[in-house]
Amino acid sequence: MSIQWYPGHMEKARRQVTEELKRVDMVIELADARVPLSSRNPMLDSLLQNKPRLLVLTKSDMADQHVTDQWLQYFKDEGTEAVALNALQNKGAKPIIEKSKKVTAPIFEKMKRKGIRPRAIRAMIIGIPNVGKSTVINRLVGKNTAKTGDKPGITKSQQWLKVGRDMELLDTPGILWPKFENQLVGYRLAATGAIKDDLLDFEDIAMFTVRLLKSRYPSALKERYNLEQFPEENRELFEQIGQKRGLLQSGGNIDEEKCAEIILRDVRGQKLGRISFETPEDWYNLDEDENIPVK
């Protein structure tokens, strides 16, 4: 299955981002801690160029903590300022301000030398759909200013927001890119809910998710669906889950669509605990054919 989604309003948003960059000191880029590289828009490197940037890994409460620690080390090693944020528990907002001051320090030192009075940091906040941007903004601002939701595409326009005396935020709509060069990226984003569900083949995405869980989180998979042993074939495992959930139709076949929906809902709802869909090692050994399941 080829996963693509690039509606017209995203092209408009891309143009807006390009136009507004000259008005900001830095960019706060949000990525999903469960898929830190898959959820980073590769278009941003060319759009942002040398603009100071802070990477914030959102939804860290949903990701495997051990894997998140690996990612923070990975970004540190490549010279990228990064911080993990548990937005729902209001943890990590202070480090965003502190690291923003760090990455913009050269700009304000230059302004000081020129005799320009200090002012708040002007930052653009950007990320793909459903990365948790509105929730992060609300925690930074301290009130429910931005709309929040579990569906991609909540923010459709730009707006400036004040973060105390330290920062002014320019909110932007989430932007996906025109084509996933590696379809594994699309599968990971689809599994986490970054792409609208009505554009997906649920069964394909669920099969991909089952394979990942079987390989990396077998205990959680067994416990959630009361499984004793895994069959060798992933297709059989998928059907076992459907049987355990009582999704049998007339003729003894399972309701595949309903089974797929339950699996994805359980994963996104943390019914199987904290799960990461990629590790730094995955990107060192990326092999699309080995990771995307077939029916």
Binding-site residue positions: 130-135, 174
Token digits of residue 289: 């054919």
Helices and strands in the chain, H and E counts = 12, 6
Amino acid of residue 186: G
Buried residues in 139-176 as b, exposed as e (16+ CB within 10 A): bbbeeeebeeeeebbbbeeeeebebeeebbbbbbbbbb
Q: Distance between CA 108 and CA 9 in Å, rounded?
A: 34
Q: Distance between CA 211 and CA 207 in Å, rounded?
A: 6
Closest to 134 in 3D by CA, of 44, 41, 55, 30 = 30
Angle at the Cα of 80 from the Cα atoms of 84 and 165, rounded to 5 degrees: 65
Amino acid of residue 219: S
Q: Is 202 helix (H, G, I), strand (E, B) or coil?
A: helix
Amino acid of residue 86: N
Closest to 125 in 3D by CA, of 89, 91, 85 = 85
- The β-bridge partners of 163 are 167
Distances (CA, A) of 174 to 41, 153, 284, 292: 10, 6, 27, 26
Q: Distance between CA 107 and CA 225 in Å, rounded?
A: 54
CA atoms lying within 13 Å on the CB side of residue 237: 25
Q: Which residues are annotated as a binding site for GTP?
A: 130-135, 174
